[in-house]
Structure 1
Amino acid sequence: MQTFYSDIHRQHHGRTELYAGTLVPCFEMPARADMVLDRVRATGLGEVCPPSAHGLDPVLAVHDAGYVAFLQSAWQRWQALGRDYDALPKMWQIRRLRQALPEHVEGQLCYYSMDCGTPITAGTWAAISAGADVALSAADALIGGQKGAFALTRPPGHHAARDYCGGYCFFNNAAIAAQHLRANGAKRVALLDVDYHHGNGTQDIFYQRDDVLFLSIHGHPRTEYPFFLGFADECGEGAGLGYNVNYPLPAGSTVDTWFDALAQACGRIAHFAPDALVVSLGVDAYQGDPISRFALSSDDFLRMGERLGRLGLPAVFCLEGGYAVEPIGINAVNVLSAFESSV
């Protein structure tokens, strides 16, 4: 299996985020990708390839043009105010506040953000642009006939919606890959999110569509981030009714409960009969993850990859969460290697 990777991800390195009421070092850090890349090479998973440049058109196919323009200019505008520290919002639009785009960069940062844990830094634009190219290049591998490809993307993407960032995410890499597959011959694409946290951004992007089936297995939003999306009754709307499937599980759910949900999701995917599969590969369902509350072991990620392989679908895997940094490479590559052995 080919892995697509760009070292440009290092240019995005947030200093702090607000967590549990205090400023802490960012959980999402360059070392996460380092550990995964080291494991890819140590296991001989396959060739590590640089991405090809694709420009902004595939990004604009899933993201709002104003939002993209904001991300492209935000750091320069922030720095022009004499600020050399990370850009974080200080308020959000909530009930009964006017839904209007401010002119000031600080106001736009608040408008286009959903949390205060997703800092924009000097290198954010370069990193997220490279990440989109990584995801698109992995999709190109499937278009060229490969059975599987790994997009070693950082920062992650599944919390990024059409027009807002959050959860460490700016561009929705998995959604960009899925749309690219659709634009290049795939009539239907299934997008499965196995991250501990609901892929609210991906749901937002495809919620009214019937050509991309979105499924997410995650901690229940009654108690788990992102709190406001991910409930079982969110089933899509309009043409997309029935094509959004959430499996919210209580925090602390057993491994058997998690795999029961995966079996249900795989059944829905098989019935949908897609031409390709995109997997938002978060490995923060791991038992030692510092900001998640499931209990999968490293061996369980082998089991996950084997089950996905039995779907018999060509698949792009996009790296999402996973914040137990030491085992992140083992867990991610376990999924990939087991998938490859099963197809």
Structure 2
Amino acid sequence: MKTIFSSTQLAHAPAQEISDGKLKPAVEIPGRAEMVLAALKDRQVGDIIEPAEFPVRPLHRVHAPDYVGFLETFWDSWTAAGRSKEAFPFVWPIRSLRQDTKVEHIDGLLGRYSMDAGTPLGGNTYQAARASADTALTGAKMLLDGEQSAFALCRPPGHHAGYDFFGGYCFFNNAAIAAQYLRDYGLHRVAILDVDYHHGNGTQSLFYDRPDVLFLSIHADPKDEYPYFLGYADETGEHAGTGFTRNWPLPLGTDWEAYTPALEEACRWLLVYKPEALIVSLGLDCYEKDPISGFKFVSDDFIRLGQRLAKVGVPTLFVMEGGYAIDALGTNCVNVLEGFAG
């Protein structure tokens, strides 16, 4: 299986994040990708290739052009305002506040285009996020060109990013961008299976009213875990997309044995839907030692995950999402890919 990765993705290197009411060392750091790359090379999984450079249009098919433009010009605006450190939003246009104003101040724009205060922006965030999106797009094109599987080592991740907002360490929704690209270039039915510990709220919202992209997510129950306000079992789509979203929220402490019934049910949905391609939002934060998660996978469970996904039997693009236990991240990631490859 070929891996797609660009070193430009390492340029986004946040120093801190806001978590548990404190400034803490950031967990979504370049070392995540570096550990996965080291494991891929050590275990000789396959060739590692550079992504192609795509125009902005595939991003505009998923994200609001003004949001993409905001990320592109953000650092210039931030520094023009006399700021030099990485940025965090602190005010949002929620509920009774107006949504239709023409905000110009950089702090107002940060609030308009974000969903949380824990996702710092820096001077190289846009470049890294664009490279991450290109990585996913290259993987999608490989499937269209006949490859049966590929691994897009995307970093920063993407599944929390929505039409016009960033959050959860995510800026462009790589899996959604890849899915839309597959649709735009000939496929009729695409499925996304999100196995990240956290619900992929951005991906769900992007396809919630559509039947051409099936979204399935197995994750920690949002009543107890981020993103809290999406990912419940009664969310099944709307309008033409009714029935094409499925969520399996699971309790904290879930291990492989308790996780398996949800995975089997998700795979049955794939069997019924018969997608022409499957995108796996590959979060590795179900691991028992992940610092911000609460499931109990051991490393061998990721082999089992890959083996089960292989039985779906359709062209598959793995898109890297979360996973923050850096010492084990490479092992767990390659376990999935080797399990899938048999």
Q: TM-score range by the shorter chain?
A: over 0.9
Percentage of identical aligned residues = 51
Unmatched runs of 5 consecutive residues or more in structure 2: none
Q: Aligned AA for 2:307?
A: E
Q: Aligned AA for 2:54?
A: H
Checking the alignment, whether the CA contact within 8 Å between 1:157 and 1:320 is kept in structure 2 is yes
Q: Distance in 2 between matches of 1:336 and 1:270?
A: 21
Q: Match for residue 113 of structure 1?
A: 114
Q: Distance in 2 between matches of 1:37 and 1:99?
A: 42
1:221-260 correspondence runs (5 A)? 221-260=222-261
Measured against aligned partners, the alpha-carbon deviations of 1:260-316 in whole angstroms (never above 9, x if no partner) come to 110000000110000000000000000110100000111000000000000001101
Q: Aligned AA for 1:45?
A: V
Tell whether 2:83 aligns with 1:86: no
Q: Aligned AA for 1:119?
A: P
Q: Aligned AA for 1:88?
A: F
Q: Aligned AA for 2:240?
A: A
3-state SS of paired residue (2:196) = coil
Alpha-carbon deviation of 1:100?
Answer: 3.0
Alpha-carbon deviation of 1:106?
Answer: 1.3
1:58-137 correspondence runs (5 A)? 58-101=58-101, 102-137=103-138
Alpha-carbon deviation of 1:184?
Answer: 1.6
Q: Distance in 1 between matches of 2:98 and 2:26?
A: 31
Measured against aligned partners, the alpha-carbon deviations of 1:137-162 in whole angstroms (never above 9, x if no partner) come to 11111111111000001000000001
Measured against aligned partners, the alpha-carbon deviations of 1:17-76 in whole angstroms (never above 9, x if no partner) come to 110010001110000000001111111111000000111111111111111111111111
Checking the alignment, whether the CA contact within 8 Å between 1:75 and 1:87 is kept in structure 2 is no
Q: Match for residue 54 of structure 2?
A: 54
Which ranges of 4 or more aligned residues in structure 1 deviate by more than 2 Å?
Answer: none
Q: Distance in 2 between matches of 1:256 and 1:285?
A: 13
Q: Distance in 1 between matches of 2:93 and 2:16?
A: 23
Tell whether 2:224 aligns with 1:218: no
Q: Distance in 2 between matches of 1:339 and 1:117?
A: 33
Q: How many residues are paired up? A: 341
Q: Match for residue 313 of structure 1?
A: 314
Q: Match for residue 272 of structure 1?
A: 273
3-state SS of paired residue (1:92) = coil
3-state SS of paired residue (1:246) = strand
Q: Distance in 2 between matches of 1:212 and 1:225?
A: 24
Checking the alignment, whether the CA contact within 8 Å between 1:75 and 1:122 is kept in structure 2 is yes
Q: Aligned AA for 1:243?
A: F
Q: Aligned AA for 1:55?
A: P
Q: Distance in 1 between matches of 2:233 and 2:113?
A: 26
Q: Match for residue 292 of structure 2?
A: 291
Q: Distance in 2 between matches of 1:182 and 1:54?
A: 16
Checking the alignment, whether the CA contact within 8 Å between 1:197 and 1:226 is kept in structure 2 is yes
Q: Match for residue 10 of structure 2?
A: 10
Q: Aligned AA for 1:83?
A: R
Alpha-carbon deviation of 1:16?
Answer: 1.1
Mean Cα displacement is larger for which, 129-138 or 248-257? 248-257
Q: Distance in 1 between matches of 2:100 and 2:321?
A: 31
Query: TM-score by structure 1 length?
Result: 0.98
Alpha-carbon deviation of 1:105?
Answer: 1.6
Checking the alignment, whether the CA contact within 8 Å between 1:60 and 1:68 is kept in structure 2 is yes
3-state SS of paired residue (1:284) = coil
1:10-49 correspondence runs (5 A)? 10-49=10-49
Q: Distance in 2 between matches of 1:197 and 1:92?
A: 22
Alpha-carbon deviation of 1:82?
Answer: 1.2
Q: Distance in 2 between matches of 1:333 and 1:116?
A: 32
Q: Distance in 1 between matches of 2:40 and 2:141?
A: 20
Q: Distance in 2 between matches of 1:275 and 1:291?
A: 34
Mean Cα displacement is larger for which, 14-23 or 253-262? 253-262
3-state SS of paired residue (2:3) = strand
Mean Cα displacement is larger for which, 248-257 or 135-144? 248-257
Alpha-carbon deviation of 1:95?
Answer: 2.0
Checking the alignment, whether the CA contact within 8 Å between 1:15 and 1:26 is kept in structure 2 is yes
Q: Aligned AA for 1:149?
A: A
Q: Distance in 1 between matches of 2:333 and 2:188?
A: 28
3-state SS of paired residue (2:233) = coil
Q: Distance in 2 between matches of 1:89 and 1:158?
A: 19
